[in-house]
C-alpha cells in the first residue's frame, strides 16, 4: 500500500492541479538588472544591513549580519552598487528593511572556499558552513537550517527526511531539481546525515512524480543508507508532521518538535543548498522558482534572491489578458501580493498568477454542520468550532480548541461547501493569541 496519513484532500485546480503547465519546462537562468534583498527572509529577527548606499558589493558578500538565536547572514545575490538601504513593502504587514543593488553585469563573486568532501568533512564543519551560508528552510517555513542541526541536549536524531512531495498545486520547482540535479540533493542528504550522526535517510516523493522517483533512486542507488519512498498523492503530504508520521509511524505530540521523535525534515532545495555550501563554499543567493498560471509561458527559473516578481513575470512572457491576482507561493498556502515589486526570497517556491476564474471568491455562507472540514483536517482539529471562536472573538477558547496547532494548509476552507473562510479565521486567532501572550510576558 502507498503510504499516507489521515485526512487531507486531492486539490484539483484546473488541469490536474496545474502542475503540467510547468513540470516539463527545464530550469532556465534569469539574471536581474537589480535586486531588492529583504533582511527578514527567515524565521527569527531580521538581519542588520552592513553595507551603505554607494558601496560596491560582490556576489556572495555578506550584506546583512545575523541577530539573535535564530539569526542568519544575508548575502549579495549579484555584484554591483548598493542603490538603497531602506524599508520596502514585502509580504508582511509593514515595510521591511532591504538592501537594493544595481547590477554591474559582471556577476563577480567573492572567493569561495570549499569545506571538504562528503565522506571526510567534519560534522562541526558542516554545521558551520550551513550557518555561514545563510541557509534556511526553502520549502516555506524558512526555519534556520543551522539551528535545526544543533540537536538539543538530551535529544537524539535517528532519521533525516528530505521532503520531495511538493504537494502544493501548480508548483514544480522541486520537481525539476529532482530530475535535473538529483546528485546535489543526495549529497546534501548525506551531509545532513553526517552532521547529526544518523545512519538512515529518506527522500519522500509523491507518486504522481514517477520521473522524480526514478531519478532520485538512480542518484541514491549506491548508498544503502538512503531510501527513496513513493507516497500517495494527497495534500498536505508535504506537511512536516504528516511526513514524519508516514515515514516513521510516529506522531509528534502537541507542542513538541520533530526532534522529539528523532526526526529532522528538510526540503529538496534546502538539501541541495547544503551541498553547495559544503562542497563549493557557496552561500545561498539563488533558488529555483516556478512562474506559472496566467502568464505568457510558465517556466521554472533559477532566480537570484531579491529578484522582483515583475521582472520574473516579464521573463516568462508577461501577464496574460486573463490575469486577475498575483500570489506568492501556491493556491493553497500562498499570499496575495499588493503589487509585483515583491522580492523572491529564500523560501519563494512559486509566483502564481490567477486568471479571472481562479481569482473569483464565492460569498461566505453559514455553517451547515456537514463536518467535512473535520474529516479533512490532517491535524485532527475541529475547524468549524475554531471559526465560531473567532466570530465570537473568544481567543482563550480558540487556544483551548487547538488554534496554535493549525498548520494553515487550507484544507478546511477548500472542502467547505458553504465557502466558509475557515483558514484565514484561524490565522487571525493565532495572531491574537500570540499578541496576548506577548502582552502577558511584558
Average pLDDT of 152-169? 94
Q: What is the mean pLDDT of the chain?
A: 93
Neighbours of 156 (CB within 10 A): 11
CA end-to-end distance (rounded Å), the chain: 52
Percent of the chain whose predicted confidence (pLDDT) is above 70: 98
For residue 93, what pLDDT is reported? Answer: 78
- Interatomic CA distance for residues 419 and 215, integer angstroms: 40
Per residue in 22-46, pLDDT tens?
999 999 999 999 999 999 999 889 9
Q: Could you give the CA distance from residue 359 to residue 320 in angstroms, rounded to a whole number?
A: 14
Which residue from 98, 103, 107, 104 is spatially nearest to 36, judged by alpha carbons?
98
The rounded distance, in Å, linking the Cα atoms of 392 and 102 is 50
Instruction: Give per-residue pLDDT as tens, 196-221.
Output: 999 999 999 999 899 999 999 999 99
Domains within the chain, CATH numbers bracketed: 31-112+284-358 (3.10.20.600), 372-441 (no CATH)
Q: Is 344 exposed, middle or buried (0-12, 13-18, 19+ CB in 10 A)?
A: buried
Q: Does 6 or 371 have the greater pLDDT score?
A: 371
Residue 442 clears pLDDT 90, i.e. is over it: no
Residue pair 75/61 in contact (Cβ under 8 Å)? The answer is yes
Whether the predicted pLDDT of 307 surpasses 80? yes
Q: Which residue has the higher pLDDT, 118 or 255?
A: 118
The pLDDT score that the predictor gives to residue 211 is: 97
Over residues 343-371, the pLDDT tens digits come to 999 999 999 999 988 888 889 999 999 99
Check whether 400 has a pLDDT greater than 80: yes
Q: What is the pLDDT of residues 231-273, one digit of tens each?
A: 988 888 888 888 999 999 898 887 788 999 999 999 999 999 9
**Rounded mean pLDDT, 279-293:** 98
Compute the distance between CA of residue 137 and CA of residue 141 in angstroms, rounded to an integer. Answer: 6
So what's the pLDDT on residue 1?
44
Amino acid at each position: 500500500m502507498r503510504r499516507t496519513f489521515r485526512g487531507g484532500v486531492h486539490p484539483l485546480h484546473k488541469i490536474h492541479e496545474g502542475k503540467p503547465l510547468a513540470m516539463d519546462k527545464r530550469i532556465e537562468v534569469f539574471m536581474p538588472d537589480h535586486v531588492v534583498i529583504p533582511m527578514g527572509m527567515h524565521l527569527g529577527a531580521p538581519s542588520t544591513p552592513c553595507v551603505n548606499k554607494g558601496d560596491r558589493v560582490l556576489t556572495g558578500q555578506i550584506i546583512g549580519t545575523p541577530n539573535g538565536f535564530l539569526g542568519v547572514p544575508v548575502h549579495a545575490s549579484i555584484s554591483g552598487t548598493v542603490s538603497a538601504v531602506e524599508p520596502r513593502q514585502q509580504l508582511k504587514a509593514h515595510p521591511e528593511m532591504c538592501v537594493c543593488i544595481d547590477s554591474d553585469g559582471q556577476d563577480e563573486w567573492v572567493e569561495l572556499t570549499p569545506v571538504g568532501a562528503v565522506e571526510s568533512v567534519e560534522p562541526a564543519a558542516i554545521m558551520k558552513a550551513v550557518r555561514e551560508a545563510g541557509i534556511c528552510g526553502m520549502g516555506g517555513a524558512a526555519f534556520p537550517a543551522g539551528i535545526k542541526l544543533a540537536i538539543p541536549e538530551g535529544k537524539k536524531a535517528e532519521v533525516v527526511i528530505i521532503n520531495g512531495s511538493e504537494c502544493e498545486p501548480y508548483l514544480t520547482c522541486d520537481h525539476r531539481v529532482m530530475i535535473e540535479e538529483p546528485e546535489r540533493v543526495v549529497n546534501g542528504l548525506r551531509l545532513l546525515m553526517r552532521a547529526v550522526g544518523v545512519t538512515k535517510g529518506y527522500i519522500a516523493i509523491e507518486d504522481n512524480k514517477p520521473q522524480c522517483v526514478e531519478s532520485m533512486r538512480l542518484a541514491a542507488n549506491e548508498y544503502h543508507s538512503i531510501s527513496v519512498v513513493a507516497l500517495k498523492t494527497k495534500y498536505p503530504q508535504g506537511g512536516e508532521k504528516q511526513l514524519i508520521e508516514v515515514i516513521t509511524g510516529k506522531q509528534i505530540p502537541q507542542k513538541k518538535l520533530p526532534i522529539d521523535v528523532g526526526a529532522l525534515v528538510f526540503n529538496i532545495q534546502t538539501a541541495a543548498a547544503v551541498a553547495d555550501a559544503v562542497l563549493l563554499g557557496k552561500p545561498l543567493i539563488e533558488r529555483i522558482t516556478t512562474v506559472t498560471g496566467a502568464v505568457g509561458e510558465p517556466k521554472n527559473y533559477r532566480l537570484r534572491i531579491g529578484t522582483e516578481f515583475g521582472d520574473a513575470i516579464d521573463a516568462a512572457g508577461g501577464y496574460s489578458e486573463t490575469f486577475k491576482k498575483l500570489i506568492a507561493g501556491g493556491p493553497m498556502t500562498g499570499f496575495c501580493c499588493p503589487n509585483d515589486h515583491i522580492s523572491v526570497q529564500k523560501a519563494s517556491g512559486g509566483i502564481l498568477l490567477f486568471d479571472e476564474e481562479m481569482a473569483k471568491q464565492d460569498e461566505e455562507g453559514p455553517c451547515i454542520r456537514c463536518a467535512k472540514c473535520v474529516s479533512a483536517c490532517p491535524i485532527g482539529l475541529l475547524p468549524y468550532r475554531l471559526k465560531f471562536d473567532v466570530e465570537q472573538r473568544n481567543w482563550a477558547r480558540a487556544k483551548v480548541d487547538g488554534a496554535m496547532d493549525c498548520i494553515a494548509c487550507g484544507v478546511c476552507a477548500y472542502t467547505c461547501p458553504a465557502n466558509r473562510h475557515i483558514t484565514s479565521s484561524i490565522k487571525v486567532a493565532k495572531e491574537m493569541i500570540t499578541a496576548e501572550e506577548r502582552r502577558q510576558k511584558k
